Structure 1
């Protein structure tokens, strides 16, 4: 588990493609790995990865096909900057919110404008994630814990203060850039709880045929 408070900006220094997935080597910048052990979790742009090799200023981690398919790591190249955070410990200050490091999907920056000394960023999210995002709720963007300012359909905005701009990769983001999104964990569990006993049964895929058989479409229309 993580808090979404970034410790350092790292750099992808090597990418090794292995059997359909890949292994990343990441330079950790100012982040100290002195207390880190093999097998520990490290969040890389909000993606929880397991350290399989440790150096003084770098670590290596394998990235599965599942992770590549759901995150921006699939398009990472050598030299890509990444936000880093070590896993939560019992003594860690909870400055952000509970973050699992399991990316739900990819958002796109649609607008970027100054707001006093801060910057207001607006993102578009996949339609299936929009229901989990609420005004004044929490959202994790590239591993950064942020508060949602406004919501309008599949669009939401966040305010980035100067310190966050300085300490994260958001200082370099441009309109059209993709970001990793993790919605509030509580929203995910709440949705599952609301299913009640139905949660134990497979949920049918919503298709035109299902809608027609359920009476939502005219069976005579093709």
Structure 2
């Protein structure tokens, strides 16, 4: 379980295909604090630390993760948003995030608002994944508030701190981002759909 509050960014150092899986070696500011078998969100996708060597660590992405996320587009040098799992002894600053990417979205537009940035993102109209104004959405592992919501798209406003501290500043129109929709919204949508069928 995560909160969508990015702790730091890491750098993809090496990519090695292993059958249908891919091993990623990354470096980050808190590598020395990691432990084998620890869950770590990478752009919102929960991956398990499998090896630690000096200032680098390894994770493995299986085929399902590669198909559902933007991990398959990573290259050596890619900057990745990182968050360690939630500790239940502090404040919940973002919202409840599972680290399970629902689908990817496409950046349609990035608008400089002279002090903040507004990003428009399109996504598949699945029916099970919706956004609502002032609701929560996770984009590349970042807990954000939906500013506007439409059919198959939404807008989020990015404050300067989030823009500078995460990999948001690297986004361009056409880029693919990982999306995790609000867990409560997903359950409500599922229940409403089930009741409508009954």
TM-score (norm 2): 0.93
**Residue 129 of structure 1: how far off its partner (Å):** 5.7
- The aligned residue for residue 205 of structure 1 is none
- The aligned residue for residue 75 of structure 1 is 73
- The aligned residue for residue 170 of structure 1 is 168
Give the alignment partner of residue 85 of structure 2, picking from 59, 84, 87.
87
Which segments of structure 1 move beyond 3 Å, counting only runs of 4 or more? none
Q: Is 1:18 matched with 2:18?
A: yes
121-130 vs 171-180, which moves further: 121-130
8 Å CA contact 1:136–1:147 kept in 2: the answer is yes
**Residue 57 of structure 1: how far off its partner (Å):** 2.6
- The aligned residue for residue 124 of structure 1 is 122
CA–CA separation in structure 1 for the residues paired with 2:33 and 2:153: 40
CA–CA separation in structure 1 for the residues paired with 2:34 and 2:132: 35
Alignment of 1:136-175 (within 5 A): 136-175=134-173
- The aligned residue for residue 7 of structure 1 is 7
Secondary structure at the residue paired with 2:34?
coil
Deviations 1:37-91 (A, max 9, x none): 2111000011000000123432111101000000000111111110001111112
Larger RCO, structures 1/2 (Cα 8 Å, 6+ apart):
2
8 Å CA contact 2:128–2:190 kept in 1: the answer is no
Q: Which of the two has higher C-alpha Rg? A: 1
Gaps of 5+ in 1: 200-222
Distance 1:162 1:106, change over 3 A: same
Gaps of 5+ in 2: none
Q: How many residues align?
A: 197
Aligned-CA RMSD value: 1.9
Larger strand proportion of the pair:
2
